[in-house]
Amino acid sequence: MMSQDELKQAVAKAAIQYVPVDCIVGVGTGSTANFFIDELARIKHKIRGAVASSEASAKRLQGHGIEVLSLNDAGSLPVYVDGADEITRHLHMIKGGGGALTREKIVAAASKKFICVCDASKLVDVLGKFPLPIEVVPMARSSVARQLVTLGGQPKLREGFTTDNGNIILDVHGLSIMNPVELESELDHIAGVVTNGLFARRGADVLLLGTAEGVKTMTV
Ligand code: 5RP
């Protein structure tokens, strides 16, 4: 029986084949993305560098001697590799468990292909069991929370946490998300919401899922 970490490592390894030679790679955040960064280090002479979706990932990349570029300098990227907190067969995701959702959404949007790397526990039929992270401008905390309650959620402030962009995170419990594309847009229209953790309008293009039977590749 493979451990969860071994499954994450297997999908991180499998993601390397999606990295074109001589490119700048978009790199996500979290424990699975960390395994990917460690795999990327082995082929670092074959890439030009990386754009990171968090300070933490930038540090880890630099620790391996991989050049980290700003997205503004890098331009459009061929590929973005990141984990997810939940993902469906339609490759819609909840992300932001690590609080890096805003930069993740930006780097993903600037990338031609989103490769999602997950262990099997992340695959769900309906999104929402994992509390949906929403990054909010601090002064809008209460007003955004009230509007989230009217949508049927129970927002909880992520205590003691500030995002890389200086904002707070509300984790919304109790949502059963039947229409992730619609809800993503609706949440984005609440004044004070910077980014919500639904990645549905721009979902993943490829899911590499680590299972006991090996790495499964899924596309929509
Ligand atoms: C961070 C994220 C991560 O991709 C998500 O939390 C999954 O992390 P892990 O690979 O550690 O399970 O969205 O903001």
* Ligand 1 center–CA 63 separation, angstroms: 20
> Which parts are annotated binding residues for substrate?
29-32, 82-85, 95-98, 122
131 lines ligand 1 (CB under 6 A): no
Torsion of CA 29, 35, 37, 42, to 10 degrees: -170
> Of 86, 104, 135, 184, which is the active-site residue?
104
Give the 3-state secondary structure percentages of the chain, helix then strand then coil, rounded to 5: 35, 30, 35
211 lines ligand 1 (CB under 6 A): no
Q: Which domains does the chain have, with CATH numbers?
A: 4-123+201-219 (3.40.50.1360), 132-194 (3.30.70.260)
Protein residue closest via CA to atom 5 of ligand 1:
84
pLDDT at 176: 81
Q: How far apart are the first and last CA of the chain?
A: 29
pLDDT at 184: 98
pLDDT at 182: 98
82 lines ligand 1 (CB under 6 A): yes
Res. 2 pLDDT band, cuts 50 70 90: confident
Average pLDDT over residues 116-138: 97
Annotated catalytic residue 104: yes
pLDDT at 83: 98
Res. 118 pLDDT band, cuts 50 70 90: very high
34 lines ligand 1 (CB under 6 A): no
pTM: 0.96
Q: Which amino acid is at 217?
A: T
Token output for 35: 């395994």
pLDDT at 156: 98
